[in-house]
Structure 1
């Protein structure tokens, strides 16, 4: 049994919170499944995640939003600060429920049952994160319904083994859609999910960071990048996102977006190639536009050139 510990929310997460407001986590015992703590800017959705950790009430928790908006990292960085072990699974179209529960494997000439991430998380009280859940077959996911509601997991293939849920077991999921399919066609392989499963989820829409918050991220991840260059990069990123999300008059005009993840990559590459001809343009191509269609690559570069001005053809120093 792991030792619990109370954490002050304002101090632990660096947010404005009522004085004395706390949440229960665990003492740091060096558990290998505790995520690595990294700098992270916590947003409004933090309160919803913490409320779920306090009391799941027979629910699971779905975070949905555009690619690279920080859905998985939000959960992992909360867990890192509360020393809460995580079982993280990357879902895909060929995944079966048995991959989550466990299966027999051949080991040193004999077979033995190896528990999967769902069984381990349920037994040990870890967080189970199902990343890109909308890529998985809804018929397979239906096997989670009873477990989410707090029922024991019965593993028939292991002699009817029964695993009762640990009180600290929680189920999180992330997806680029909210389970109703992808009408944009941007996220290949996404499947419409079963309504009975979705009815068991609380849902949080996660968007991109505000410009000020992203500036803080760049200052942490690329501290030698001039502040003015960082601000211009963020302006470019937000304009690309606007066109990707269809917020312009003509709807979605781009099929690629510049996420916070890609923004950090762009900034770091610009510093790596500093001193070379057009380092910002070259870095943007490697970070994003080399995988865009030719017309969109040209449009993004024109947009960036308009925003960056002389920096586009020069170096990274303003």
Structure 2
């Protein structure tokens, strides 16, 4: 599944609200049933899969399906424990405590989704541990408060194993606190249906783009660091639907974002030409 646009669903998720309409998602396996059982049994979940394969859209869909608010946190190298938990702010009348997004999710019983969790510092990831086992609590050292997670709270993290394996990974003591759901690019017919709907493309164009994407993914063994995601195929479909010529759309939305290396770009250009005769 493609990941979401920065629209209604994304805004609602970031603010901790419940999406008003169902985020589009086509299951590729039993991931929906597995996640529902994890939520019912208060189990933390790890979503593993390549960039742009639908992890974020899946969690948005599940939050809507379960009727839970969704708080999304984009992890990065500078993400501190205070960014998650909260901090004291200086105001004109003194200092006041302000909850961070993780704390709000714990209090409100929301699903808290940490995207690309391994990008965060290890000392930041450790604060998640008490929320992933039977304790389901969040200690706040700065205030001396310990918050018990409200009913409905669930911790969900995601990461790209192929990319992270070359850089950094989660510690085993953290990984074993999660139930892991493996994601990959959808089967051909499913991916065509996704690109057709999300890209406002006709069936023939969607099929050609997905076929191109699968051919390009075969270049990973030839040095392509990141293969084209469903998200990129949708971007190309939208450009084509707007009137941009097919080859131009593919070069701008798929080939150029993937590599600057002349040999690889040339090989991808040839595949584009072969896909749109």
Is the counterpart of residue 253 in structure 1 residue 253 in structure 2? Answer: no
Gapped runs of 5+ residues in structure 1?
Answer: 1-30, 184-189, 245-250, 310-318
Is the counterpart of residue 115 in structure 1 residue 83 in structure 2? Answer: no
Whole-Å separation in 1 of the counterparts to 2:141 and 2:33: 38
Q: What is the TM-score when the length of structure 2 is the normalising length?
A: 0.86
RMSD: 2.0
TM-aligned CA deviation for residue 76 of structure 1: 0.8
2:4 match = none
How has the CA–CA distance of structure 1 residues 148 and 285 changed in structure 2, closer, same or farther, with 3 Å as cutoff? same
Q: Which has the higher contact order (CA 8 A, sep 6+)?
A: 2
Q: What is the TM-score when the length of structure 1 is the normalising length?
A: 0.76
2:138 to 153, 160, 183: 153
TM-aligned CA deviation for residue 243 of structure 1: 2.5
TM-aligned CA deviation for residue 240 of structure 1: 1.4
Is the counterpart of residue 298 in structure 1 residue 266 in structure 2? Answer: yes
2:242 to 272, 278, 281: 272
1:10-49 to structure 2, matched below 5 A, reads 33-35=17-19, 37-44=22-29, 45-49=31-35
Q: Which runs of 4+ in 1 moved over 6 A?
A: none
1:285 to 237, 251, 270: 251
TM-aligned CA deviation for residue 193 of structure 1: 2.0
Larger Rg: 1
What SS is found at the alignment partner of 1:163?
strand
Count of residues in Structure 1 that have an aligned counterpart in Structure 2: 258
Is the counterpart of residue 233 in structure 1 residue 201 in structure 2? Answer: no
Gapped runs of 5+ residues in structure 2?
Answer: 1-14
2:117 to 133, 150, 154: 133
Is the counterpart of residue 308 in structure 1 residue 272 in structure 2? Answer: no
